[in-house]
Amino acid sequence: MKFRTIFLLPILVIVLASCGKRPAESAEISNQPSPVEDAFKVCQAFTNTGLTTECDVGGFESTIDVRMDMNSEEARKTCIGAVELVSKKIQSLSGRWKLRIFSPYSGEHPIATCPF
């Protein structure tokens, strides 16, 4: 399981390199990045690792919910590391948004929660 956490964070760095950047035509309409769009990019980054079974964005709740097969200790490390990486690239999630990691066995109860 420790291998997954070590493996996940470098992959997130690579995938998140494009986050926070908007196409030129979108930039002309608004200089502000959309937090919901950025949250979906974070979800896609988790999905692209192949280690998640599910990722959802809750726009009204300002949550990014990721389901991964890991224990709570690994989830806390992954949560903290991912939020640190994302916060360096995407400022639009700071403040209100939070990352919640669920286990396939935790039902509706997150095993780790980290604010951006």
In angstroms, rounded to a whole number, what is the distance separating the alpha carbons of residues 82 and 13?
9
What is the model's pLDDT at position 19? 52
What is the model's pLDDT at position 31? 65
In angstroms, rounded to a whole number, what is the distance separating the alpha carbons of residues 105 and 31?
41
pLDDT one-digit tens code per residue, 67-113: 999 999 999 999 999 999 999 888 899 889 999 999 999 999 999 99
Element (H, E) at 110: none
Specify the DSSP class assigned to residue 102: E
Q: Averaged over 30-58, what is the pLDDT?
A: 88
The full set of domain ranges for the chain reads 2-115
In angstroms, rounded to a whole number, what is the distance separating the alpha carbons of residues 4 and 51?
8
Summary mean pLDDT of the chain: 82
What is the model's pLDDT at position 6? 52
Instruction: Give pTM, 2 decimals.
Output: 0.76
What is the model's pLDDT at position 61? 94
Please check the confidence at residue 26 and state whether its pLDDT lies above 50: no
Instruction: Between 33 and 85, name the one with better pLDDT.
Output: 85
Q: In the chain, what are the helix, strand and coil shares in percent, each to the nearest 5? A: 45, 20, 35
Strand order in the sheet with 52-58: 52-58, 63-68, 98-102, 112-115
SS (H, E, C) 60-80: CCCEEEEEECCCHHHHHHHHH
